[in-house]
Amino acid sequence: MRVLLAKSAGFCYGVERAVELAKKTAAERGGCVMLGDLIHNAQVIAELEALGVRRAESPADIRSGETVVLRSHGERRDVVEELESRGVRCVSAACPNVLRIQKLAAQAEREGRRAAIIGEPHHPEIRAVASYCADPLIFGGPEEAAAWLAEDPSRREIPITVTAQTTCIRELFETSVKILKKQCTNVKIFDTICNATHRRQSEAAEIAAQADAMVVVGDRRSANTKHLTEICNERCPRVLQIERADELSPDFFNGCSVAGLTAGASTPAGIIKEVYATMSEEIKTAENGEESFEELLNQSFKTLNTGEKVTGIVTAVGPTEVQVDVGAKQAAYIKASELSDDPNAKPEDIVKVGDEIEAYIVRVNDVEGYAELSKKRLDTVKVWENIEQAVEDKTIMEGVVTEVNKGGIVVSVKGVRVFVPASQSGMPRGADLSTMVKSKVQLRITEVNRARRRVVGSIRSVTDEARKAAQDEIWNNIEVGKHYTGTVKSMTAYGVFVDIGGVDGMVHISELSWSRIKTPSEVCKVGDTLEVYVISYDPEKRKISLGVKDRSINPWDVFMSKYHVGDVAKVRIVKLMTFGAFAEVVPGVDGLIHISQIADRRIEKPSDVLSEGQEVDAEIIAVDEEKKKISLSIRALLTPAAEEEAPADAE
């Protein structure tokens, strides 16, 4: 018996997006809330609750200031508005396809049309869509649509915009649309059935038509799972809908030669794998026998008849084959194509006469007295064994990225394709994974299924470990005054965070430059390389304070060596006060221009004449070395106004 597994079974894009968004929100905010079930799957809901996603039965259970992740089916507009009015932060995990239907319903109302939705009236998705228009029509199928029109013939003149629940059975939608198009004079049709749903339903129908028994996996509250079961029941005499693998029984598969398996959009891959494995075991039990390891090998290698591994001595090397003495009555040989995976390799480059060689027996012909061997297939098995061992030993392996795949990348490790999910690629979320193609990477093997020739790996686990080692190195050797070359990772109004080799340190804005600056962006940007030194650190809180200023240079000494009283300096206005303005003379040294020294006339306030950032010439009129204070004057450089001539005495 064989098991046919639907390729599109399991999480759709919308469900996967909702689950990941809930996990991310909980991690970033130290927990969050989901209103009702985020998706229809009890196991996933339990996992989310364990990660800090609290389940609320109603909006009243959500407190002001909390963050709520709105489910993938969408939420009613009045509920969202009520939550936001109470200070609840709403994060929508609604499927993009559901959001499209909501917009179409709202648009229909704005255009003076009536929205009609083909779907289940009490489903959360339909209730959410219906809230975006005043008086929607909801038809469960063609019979309800026909009945509504028959009640009042004048309804045929009403402008209608028709959409469908994303998980609606296509036949129901198309039959309903046919009736409405035929009888209504003004109807707009939007096929909003999810493409993934349509593929899943089509595959289920195709497999069910071939199977003697069909298993549908999914939550019993899930509409799309229920529809899959209905579709399968029409084509297969024996259909079982389950939520978990322990609901299977060997008796269900008695007399079956082909079994089918599909799953709803809210079913995690882990449950599908478990059911698939259990089905295989239950089928074996139903057939009253267990397959031996040799039989499994025979299934893996189609040309292998005996599967026996032998060791022999090379007796002759020819251009097309290699002869081997295996110590038996049959003569044995290996075709050149069965020596190596490299099609260009020549037999004489691989083996020589007298070499000992291991190979599989792929065929034995006792009548003609020869055995056909394969070294290539044995090498492949050894690679798989090494990879399986690498899972247990957590060995770091090396490979080359060969392609970008749906959801991740493919890495070739010793000729075996290893799938690395995007989340485990070590690249930031949303990054272009194609930049990794042809690059060498190190990874750990996390999952191996030899029967399905599926291998999953993680680059991130290796990079995270290397980063942790680098962090430990930093903390074990850090000391005040030690210099590092770092990279600006992020910026705030009060400073920048710099990566100094796996550990981020903070450079306060006051430590970025001797000059007075308002924002860090005036002197650096994200990605810049900075030479920094340690000012202080706290190993317990894992905080490091860094500086960029060159402490070997004393700005006051620079000023004193360059300027004296009476000199004129080009200064920059850095701060305006009621009593005057502070100006930078050299980086790190400011002087005061008193309000009386700004102009050759009386002014009300410094901003009447000066502005921050302005450069002006000023004379140094006094220096207090002890207090390190400087007095400046702009007025001293201005041409004195001509004295008014005294009037002649009247005679």
DSSP string, 368-379: TTEEEEEHHHHH
Same fold, 96-193 and 394-464: no
Which fold would CATH assign to domain 96-193? Cobalt-precorrin-4 Transmethylase; domain 1 (3.40.1010)
Identity of the amino acid at 490? S
Q: What is the largest CA-CA distance in the chain?
A: 156
Q: What is the pTM of this model?
A: 0.40
Write down the H helix ranges in 366-417: 375-393
Phi, psi torsion values for 242, nearest 5 degrees: -130, 165
3-state helix, strand, coil in the chain (%, to 5): 35, 30, 35
Phi, psi torsion values for 522, nearest 5 degrees: -70, -25
Provide the β-strand partners of residue 537: 544
Q: Cα(104)–Cα(282) distance, rounded to whole angstroms?
A: 48
| Residue 648 pLDDT | 44
* Yes or no: domain 394-464 corresponds to CATH 3.30.470.20: no
Strands (E), 248-355: 258-263, 309-317, 321-325, 331-335
Structure tokens at 409: 């990348």
| Cβ(92)–Cβ(4) below 8 Å | no
125 part of the active site = yes
| Residue 68 pLDDT | 93
Using the structure block, give the residue that is written with the tokens 């680098």: 470
- For 81-93, the pLDDT digits (tens) are 999 999 999 998 8
Beta strand 580-586 with 589-594 is: antiparallel
For domain 558-637, the CATH architecture is Beta Barrel (2.40)
In order along the chain (651 residues), what is the average pLDDT of each group of 10 residues?
79 80 90 88 87 91 92 89 92 86 92 92 90 90 91 92 90 91 92 82 90 90 86 91 86 84 85 84 58 41 56 84 78 85 81 86 73 83 82 87 89 86 87 89 88 86 84 85 88 89 86 80 87 88 83 78 90 91 88 91 90 91 89 85 43 36
Q: Rg of the chain over CA atoms, in angstroms?
A: 38
| Residue 147 pLDDT | 92
* Yes or no: domain 478-547 corresponds to CATH 3.40.50.2300: no
| Residue 415 pLDDT | 76
| Residue 95: CB atoms within 10 Å | 25
Backbone angle region of 426, left / alpha / beta, with phi > 0 → left and psi within -120 to 50 → alpha = left
- For 469-496, the pLDDT digits (tens) are 888 888 888 888 888 888 998 989 889 9
Using the structure block, give the residue that is written with the tokens 């978990």: 244
Catalytically annotated residue among 16, 66, 120, 125: 125
**Extents of the domains making up the chain:** 96-193, 299-375, 394-464, 478-547, 558-637
Using the structure block, give the residue that is written with the tokens 């030993």: 393
SS3 83: helix
- For 218-253, the pLDDT digits (tens) are 888 887 888 899 999 999 989 999 988 888 887 888
Residues present in the chain in total: 651
- Where does 299-375 sit in CATH, by number? 2.40.50.140
Q: Cα(590)–Cα(630) distance, rounded to whole angstroms?
A: 7
